[in-house]
Amino acid sequence: MDQHIVIFASGSGSNSEAIAEYLQKHNVAGISLIMSNRHDAYVLERAKSLNIPSLYFSRTDLYNDVLVLNRLIRENPSLIVLAGFLWLLPVNIISKFPDRIVNIHPSLLPAFGGKGMYGSKVHEAVIAMGCEESGITIHYVNERYDEGDIIFQARCEVFDDDTPESLAQRIHQLEHFWYPRIIEKLLTGTKITDQDNTS
């Protein structure tokens, strides 16, 4: 495979695993590294089982040092994929990889995005507002939370009896289906059309 990506994740890493499995099965790209800002994140266990190199880094490594930046330069990935990564990337990384960093957010941005809006907080807010639909957004990353250009969105219903957990489960299914496929399209330069949104 001539292309490879780097993943950043802070938590469980179910998206990272779905991406790894899809890319390998479809012979699209390798994952050269999974980076985490939490040494106890379950994604690091998954990396081990998937035989993917991983690296823990601290706040200092990311913001006050060039450890993370230099490692990314050395990896030279076609795409940097944020999958449940909870910190902002510093400008030196964002400007070094223009249009090569993507994120997934568990709502239909710009709704329910921004600082502090992550994980079950998003789903709690969607339910509290009485929304009839929610969904996922895959977007480019800039120096502000959840504000980069939108690449793709997919929707799902919110039911009257939904809990944050049941909604999260439906959203995760959408994420696991779409994130690998959108990454594949970005890597192969395939146009992402409105039709992708309706399936």
Would you name the residues annotated as active-site residues? 105
C-beta atoms surrounding 72 within 10 Å: 22
Could you tell me the CA-to-CA distances from 119 to 13, 43, 85, 167, 172 in Å, in that order? Answer: 12, 15, 11, 11, 11
CB of 76 to ligand GRF, least distance (A): 24
Alpha carbon dihedral 13, 36, 84, 103, in 10-degree steps, equals: -120
DSSP 92-136: HHHHHSTT-EEEEESS-TTTT-STT--THHHHHHHHHTT-SEEEE
Judged by beta carbon, residue 66 or residue 170, the one nearer ligand GRF is: 170
Judged by beta carbon, residue 12 or residue 78, the one nearer ligand GRF is: 12
CB of 2 to ligand GRF, least distance (A): 26
CB of 80 to ligand GRF, least distance (A): 14
CB of 74 to ligand GRF, least distance (A): 25
Binding site for ligand GRF (CB under 6 A): 9, 11-16, 83-84, 104-106, 175
User: Which residue has its beta carbon closest to ligand GRF?
Assistant: 84
Token pair 């990454």 is found at: 183
Judged by beta carbon, residue 3 or residue 12, the one nearer ligand GRF is: 12
Taking the mean position of all CA atoms in its chain, how far away is CA 196? 18
Judged by beta carbon, residue 66 or residue 88, the one nearer ligand GRF is: 88
